[in-house]
Chains A and B, each alone.
Chain A
Amino acid sequence: MSGKRVQRLARRFGYLEYMIERYLTLFGEEAEAFLEGNDRHIPKTIRCNTLAIEPQLLGKRLEMKGFDLEVVQGIDYAFRMTSGEFPLGATTEYLLGYYFVQSQASMWAVEVLNPKGSEVVVDMCAAPGGKTTHIAQLMENSGALLATDISRKRMRGLRSNLSRMRVENVLALRVDAAHLPETGIQADKVLLDAPCTGEGLIPLQPERKRSRTLKDVETMAAVQRKLIVVASKILKEDGTLVYSTCSFAPEENEEIVNFALQNCPLRVVDTGLVFGDPGIRAPFGRVMDDSVLNARRFYPYKHKMEGFFICKLEKITA
C-alpha cells in the first residue's frame, strides 16, 4: 500500500491516516466507494409504535403534515423519509409515542432477535432505549424485559423513551452489566448492543473521522469481550444472543464473536437476513472461525444505512 495514496485519501476525505490504511486493507478496490458513501446523506427512518397506532394511519397523518414516506422493505411498520429534513422529533405524533426515530440497521438487530411476549429478555446495554422500546413492541408489552445500562445520564433518556413509547414490561437497572451473572438470571434471549467506537456513524457524525484511535478500538474490544462472556452466562441453553455494534472494526465484531466461540458454549447461527455483507473471515490476516461468515455487515455505500454489524448466536449444551 503506498503511503502517498493513504495520505491523499486521508486528506481528500478528512480521516486519520491509520483509518485509511485499515479501510484499504479491508475493502481493497472498494475502499474509495466506501469513503464516498460515508459522505452521503442517509435517509432517516422511523419505527411506528404498533402498541399505539396502526402503521397505515401514522403514515397518512405524517404525509398530511408534509413528510414524504415509503415503507421499509421487510419491516412493514417502518418508514423511510424520502425527501426533506424535517423536525421529526417535534410533532404531536412523536410526543404521543406513535414513532421512534431509529436507524434501519438497528431495527434489523431487533428483528433478528425476534423476541416473544412469553419470554424473559435481557437488553444489556439499553440506553437510550431505541432497541428496548422496539423489543417491548415485538413482545406486545408482555413477558419481562430487563434493560440495563451503566450510564446515569443515558438512563434518564431511557426512562423518558419507555414512557413516551408506552412500554409496560421493562425492569430498568442502572448497573454495570458485567455484574448480571450475580443475579442468577437465565434469559430466553439477550441483546448485546455493545458500546463501540461508533465508526459506522460517520455519515451522521463526520467528526468521528478523526476522533478515535486504534487504542480506543482495543479498549472497546476489551469491554466487549467481557460483556459477551456475561451474555453467554445469563442465557438459557438453546437461548438466542444477538451481538451488534455500529462499528466497522473487525476487532469489535468478528474478533469478539471468535473470542466468544473459543471461550463460551455458543455457536453462530444464520441471521435470516437476505441482505448485508457476510462477516470478514480473515481480517488483517487473522483467521476466524468459518461461522463468522454468517454475521451480517451493513455499509452506508452499499446498503444506504449506517455502518452496522449483527451476529446471531445460540447457546449450546456446555
Chain B
Amino acid sequence: MQTGKDHRLTFDSASPLDLKKIIEGLEQFIDSEDIELLLKDKHILIGHGRRLEVYLLSKSLWSLYKSLREWRHPYFIGIFLGEIRGKILKPSLHICHRLSAETVDNAVVATPKGEQQFLYGKNLESNHLLKLPKDNVNSEVLVMNQRGEVLGYGILEKESRGKIKLRNRKDLGWYLRRGG
C-alpha cells in the first residue's frame, strides 16, 4: 500500500469482514435486492486514513484508478458509500441521495417545519414527524420530507414519558455547515 504525506488516504480492496460491515450498514435502509443493484459491476475500495472510507467504482473508473494507483492515491473516487465505524458502515449523504420513497420502507416523514429544523442539524420532536415506521425505536431510520426526498437519517428514541423523538445523525444541511 503506498503512503506519503501528500496522500490523505491509502487504498485497498475490501476484505470479507469489511464487506459484511458494508452490507449490514446498508441493510438498515435498503433491502437486499437494491443493495445488490447498487453493488452490481462495481469495485469496492477501502480508503485508510483517520477513518475507514468506502468507495464504489464503475469499470471505467476502476481502470483509471489502476493506471494511477502506483503514482498517487485518490483524494476521493467514485461513489462515497460511507465510513466504517466499529462494527458497521455509516452511510454517506451520497447514499441518502440515491434513496427515495420507492426504495425504502424504513423512514419517518417530517413536516415542512420539521424539514427545516432537521436540515439545521436539529433533533425532531414527535409533533414534527408525520409518519413513523412500526417497531423501530432505537434503530436508525431515514428522514424524508413530504415529497419523499431523503434529508438524512437519525435514531428514533422513546423518552421517559413514552414520547418518541428523532435524534439527528446525518442531514443534508452538512453541505452548508461543514461541506465547503
**Any chain B CB within 8 A of the CB of A159?**
yes
User: When A144-B60, A166-B97, A185-B67 are in contact, do A95 and B74 touch as well, CB less than 8 Å?
Assistant: no
B76, closest chain A residue (CB): A172
Check if B180 sits within 8 Å of A170, measured CB to CB. no
Sort A-B residue pairs by CB-CB distance and give the 10 closest, nearest first: A160-B179, A95-B172, A144-B64, A172-B76, A144-B60, A172-B75, A157-B180, A174-B75, A163-B94, A171-B77
Check if A95 sits within 8 Å of B64, measured CB to CB. no
Q: Taking A95-B175, A158-B76 as given, write out 5 further A-B residue pairs in contact, using a Cβ cutoff of 8 Å, ordered by the A residue number.
A: A92-B149, A95-B151, A163-B97, A170-B61, A173-B68
**Any chain A CB within 8 A of the CB of B37?**
no
Q: Shortest Cβ distance from A126 into chain B, in angstroms?
A: 10
Check if A185 sits within 8 Å of B175, measured CB to CB. no
- A144-183 CB mask vs B (1 if < 8 Å, else 0) is 1010000000011111111110101111111100000011
Check if B58 sits within 8 Å of A142, measured CB to CB. yes
Which of B8, B61, B145, B176 has most A Cβ within 10 Å? B61
Residues of A within 8 A of B98 (CB): 166
Residues of B within 8 A of A174 (CB): 6, 8, 75
Check if B180 sits within 8 Å of A160, measured CB to CB. yes
A93, closest chain B residue (CB): B149
Which of B76, B78, B151 has most A Cβ within 10 Å? B76
B116, closest chain A residue (CB): A92
- B52-78 CB mask vs A (1 if < 8 Å, else 0) is 000010101101110110011011111
User: When A144-B61, A163-B93, A172-B76 are in contact, do A182 and B71 touch as well, CB less than 8 Å?
Assistant: yes
Residues of A within 8 A of B63 (CB): 144
B residues near A (Cβ < 8 Å) are 6, 8, 56, 58, 60-61, 63-65, 67-68, 71-72, 74-80, 92-94, 97-98, 115, 119, 145, 149, 151, 172-173, 175-176, 178-180
Near B by CB (< 8 A), chain A positions 12-37 give: none
Q: How large is the interface on A (under 10, 10 to 19, 20 to 34, 35 or more residues)?
A: 35 or more
Q: Contact partner of B79 among A158, A168, A173, A175, CB < 8 A?
A: A168
Q: Contact partner of A171 among B68, B92, B173, CB < 8 A?
A: B68
User: When A52-B97, A142-B58, A142-B60 are in contact, do A173 and B180 touch as well, CB less than 8 Å?
Assistant: no
Near B by CB (< 8 A), chain A positions 264-296 give: none
Residues of B within 8 A of A168 (CB): 56, 58, 78-79
Secondary structure at chain A's binding surface: helix, strand, loop or mixed? mixed
Q: Contact partner of B67 among A90, A161, A183, CB < 8 A?
A: A183
**Any chain B CB within 8 A of the CB of A310?**
no
Question: How many A-B contacts are there with CB distance less than 8 Å?
Answer: 101
Residues of B within 8 A of A52 (CB): 97
User: When A95-B175, A157-B179 are in contact, do A169 and B97 touch as well, CB less than 8 Å?
Assistant: no
A residues near B (Cβ < 8 Å) are 52, 89-90, 92, 94-97, 120, 128, 142-144, 146, 155-164, 166, 168-175, 182-185
Check if B60 sits within 8 Å of A92, measured CB to CB. no
Q: How far is the CA of A139 from the CA of B175 in the complex (A)?
A: 24
Residues of A within 8 A of B151 (CB): 92, 95
Q: How far is the CA of A143 from the CA of B60 in the complex (A)?
A: 6
Q: How far is the CA of A144 from the CA of B71 in the complex (A)?
A: 17
Check if B179 sits within 8 Å of A173, measured CB to CB. no
Check if A175 sits within 8 Å of B72, measured CB to CB. yes
Check if B76 sits within 8 Å of A169, measured CB to CB. no
Residues of A within 8 A of B75 (CB): 155, 159, 172-174
Residues of B within 8 A of A163 (CB): 80, 92-94, 97, 175, 179
B8, closest chain A residue (CB): A174
Check if B78 sits within 8 Å of A128, measured CB to CB. no
Q: How far is the CA of A97 from the CA of B149 in the complex (A)?
A: 11
Q: List 24 A-B contacts (CB under 8 A).
A: A92-B172, A95-B119, A96-B97, A97-B97, A120-B64, A128-B180, A143-B60, A144-B60, A155-B76, A159-B76, A160-B175, A160-B178, A163-B93, A166-B97, A168-B58, A168-B78, A170-B78, A171-B61, A172-B74, A172-B77, A174-B6, A174-B75, A175-B6, A182-B71
User: When A120-B64, A169-B61 are in contact, do A164 and B77 touch as well, CB less than 8 Å?
Assistant: no
Check if A171 sits within 8 Å of B179, measured CB to CB. no
Check if A185 sits within 8 Å of B97, measured CB to CB. no
Q: How far is the CA of A164 from the CA of B76 in the complex (A)?
A: 14
Q: Shortest Cβ distance from B94 into chain A, in angstroms?
A: 5
A98, closest chain B residue (CB): B149
Check if B58 sits within 8 Å of A169, measured CB to CB. yes
A184, closest chain B residue (CB): B67
